[in-house]
């Protein structure tokens, strides 16, 4: 059984990292797996990239798609993908032609258009990174439910109407998806629920396959040793969180987190608390009311695992998210997580057992949860043990790989039994 995985990238953002982890875990099972991406970030020879130095068609497509999305979106922080500038035809690629099953991931950024999928003619398994595969162009719907019908009158567009860009893209997908041999894999129960409500996917087979974490890397470590290495005072209480784009992506909830930190700064714990921040963008010290330590961008899994394990708790204040890698990786390292009760977070955090989930945008309740954990060593230790146990039971990379391998084999058997040529 030959597998090919189509993803815009094999690294960088969470979707690319998740796709690459699935690919490499299937290789470890002995499967013939390859990955085809627009933007190759690893040195892995089993991954083929379209960008090959200089200004390529893949670079141009990505730039044009991003420009068009920005022109259409009502707000700068909104990511809208109109699928207007893709030039790559996966059906013509030799690795796709040779495959028995094609895995789809985040294929935006000028990589793959809806129409080209119709020419592949093989079983497709689409792992949903967000709602774009069943929407008219948005990646997260917010309060909008128009994806359940046919989109149009999109609240994320500057110019919306019943026949706007979102309706036209939705119709393109409706026409293209109609005859696909397509199975949906949702990482979270929340994403599966949205897909089942959508008109494009409600008749499809939808499986919930949680994102897997490498438990040999993301594991509890000696906190004191790590703090000495990272230059963090040993007597501090550490709150870790990521800051990829705090000013641009309001969905990540940094305004709400900042309000929570203000409350912590006014508590008796304040002199002992420090924020451990990692990500692409450093937050100016004057914007945070507590002491901070910035680790910079951490692209390697071990560096991320070290950051989590050096912390007492991890804050994940997302306002809307699928199954955040930060939360998964944190509990695998045995670190309790505090966040809002939204999206896929309830799959990761059981409130009061391995962390705290509070009502959406309730910064006061989020602060109170963090204060309760930081101020009670016994509670924090018990939740840390529960966090690791939950990761081992539900979010093992090996379990994820075996689940996908079983699904792929079943789809190939069905394809062969139907007499359809490979």
pLDDT in tens, 260-274: 999 999 999 999 999
Overall domain count for the chain: 2
Cβ atoms of 142 and 155 within 8 Å: the answer is: yes
Please report, rounded to a whole number, the percentage of residues in the chain having pLDDT higher than 70.
95
Q: Which pair of tokens denotes residue 14?
A: 């969470």
Q: Cα angle vertex 53, ends 50, 55, to 5°? A: 85
End-to-end CA distance of the chain: 11
Q: Give the DSSP letter of residue 325.
A: H
- 402 shares its domain with 390: no
- 407 shares its domain with 312: no
Residues β-bridged to residue 103: 5, 125
* Rounded Cα–Cα distance for residues 90 and 83 (Å): 15
- 389 shares its domain with 403: no
Contacts of 371 (CB under 8 A, 6+ apart): 263, 264, 267, 269
Q: Which pair of tokens denotes residue 231?
A: 């230059």
Q: Is residue 422 part of a domain?
A: no
pLDDT at 146: 97
Tell me the per-residue pLDDT of 199-212, one tens digit each, with 9 for 90 and over: 999 999 999 999 99
Q: Give the DSSP letter of residue 302.
A: H
Q: Is residue 217 part of a domain?
A: no
One DSSP character per residue, 162-221 reads TTSHHHHHHHHHHHHHTT--EEEEESSHHHHHHHHHSTTTTTSEEEE-PPPB-TTTSS--
- 390 shares its domain with 403: no
In this structure, how many other beta carbons lie within 10 angstroms of the beta carbon of residue 159? 9
- 405 shares its domain with 373: no
- Residue 40 in 3-state DSSP? coil
One DSSP character per residue, 342-404 reads -TTHHHH--BTTTEEEE-TT-HHHHHHHHHHHHT-HHHHHHHHHHHHHHHHHH-BHHHHHHHH
The residue segments making up the domain with residue 241 are 223-394
Q: Is residue 23 part of a domain?
A: yes
Cβ atoms of 213 and 395 within 8 Å: the answer is: yes
- 78 shares its domain with 146: yes
Residue in the structure block whose two tokens are 């391995």 = 354
Residues β-bridged to residue 314: 240, 337
Q: Is residue 218 part of a domain?
A: no
Residue in the structure block whose two tokens are 């359809």 = 420
pLDDT at 319: 95
- 341 shares its domain with 194: no
pLDDT at 328: 97
- 390 shares its domain with 401: no
CATH, residue 316: 3.40.50.2000
Q: What is the pTM of this model?
A: 0.93
* Rounded Cα–Cα distance for residues 318 and 139 (Å): 14
Residue in the structure block whose two tokens are 């924020």 = 275
pLDDT in tens, the chain (422 residues): 999 999 999 987 788 989 999 999 999 999 999 999 999 999 999 999 987 655 577 788 999 999 999 999 999 889 999 999 987 999 999 999 999 999 999 999 999 999 999 999 999 999 999 999 999 999 999 999 999 999 999 999 999 999 999 999 999 999 999 999 999 999 999 999 999 999 999 999 999 999 999 999 999 999 999 999 998 999 999 999 987 666 667 888 988 999 999 999 999 999 999 999 988 666 655 567 899 888 888 888 999 999 999 999 999 999 999 999 999 999 999 999 999 999 999 999 999 999 999 999 999 999 999 999 999 999 999 999 999 999 999 999 999 999 999 999 999 999 888 765 43
Cβ atoms of 207 and 406 within 8 Å: the answer is: no
- 157 shares its domain with 242: no
- 62 shares its domain with 142: yes
């Amino acid at each position: 059984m030959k597998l090919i995985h189509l993803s815009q990238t094999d690294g960088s953002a969470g979707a690319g990292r998740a796709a690459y982890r699935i690919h490499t875990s299937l290789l470890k099972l002995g499967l013939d797996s390859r990955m085809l991406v627009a933007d190759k970030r690893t040195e892995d020879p089993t991954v083929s990239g379209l960008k090959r130095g200089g200004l390529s068609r893949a670079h141009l497509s990505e730039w044009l798609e991003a420009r068009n999305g920005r022109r259409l979106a009502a707000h700068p922080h909104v990511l809208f993908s109109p699928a207007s500038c893709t030039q790559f035809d996966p059906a013509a690629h030799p690795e796709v032609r040779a495959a028995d099953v094609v895995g789809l991931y985040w294929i935006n950024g000028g990589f793959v258009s809806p129409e080209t999928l119709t020419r592949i003619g093989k079983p497709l398994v689409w792992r949903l990174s967000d709602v774009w595969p069943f929407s008219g162009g948005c990646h997260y719907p917010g309060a909008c439910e128009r994806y359940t019908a046919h989109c149009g009158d999109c609240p994320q567009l500057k110019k919306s109407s019943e026949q706007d860009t979102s309706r036209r893209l939705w119709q393109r997908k409706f026409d293209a998806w109609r005859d696909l041999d397509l199975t949906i894999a949702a990482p979270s129960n929340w994403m599966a629920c949205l897909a089942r409500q959508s008109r494009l996917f409600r008749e499809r087979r939808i499986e919930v396959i949680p994102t897997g974490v490498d438990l040999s890397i993301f594991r509890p470590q000696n906190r004191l040793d790590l703090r000495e290495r990272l230059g963090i005072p040993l007597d501090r209480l550490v709150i870790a969180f990521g800051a990829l784009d705090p000013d641009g992506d309001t969905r990540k909830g940094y305004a709400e987190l900042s309000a929570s930190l203000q409350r912590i700064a006014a508590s008796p714990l304040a002199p002992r608390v420090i924020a451990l921040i990692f990500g692409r963008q450093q937050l100016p010290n004057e914007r945070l009311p507590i002491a901070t330590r910035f680790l910079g961008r951490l692209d390697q899994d071990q560096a991320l695992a070290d950051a989590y394990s050096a912390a007492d708790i991890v804050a994940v204040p997302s306002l809307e998210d699928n199954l955040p890698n930060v939360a998964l990786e944190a509990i695998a390292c045995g670190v309790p997580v505090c966040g809002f009760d939204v999206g896929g977070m309830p799959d990761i955090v059981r409130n009061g057992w391995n962390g705290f989930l509070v009502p959406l945008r309730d910064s006061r309740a989020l602060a109170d949860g963090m204060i309760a954990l930081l101020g009670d060593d016994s509670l924090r230790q018990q939740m840390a043990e529960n966090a690791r146990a939950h990761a081992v039971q539900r979010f093992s990379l090996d379990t994820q790989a075996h689940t996908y391998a079983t699904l792929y084999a079943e789809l190939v058997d069905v394809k062969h039994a139907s007499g359809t040529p490979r």
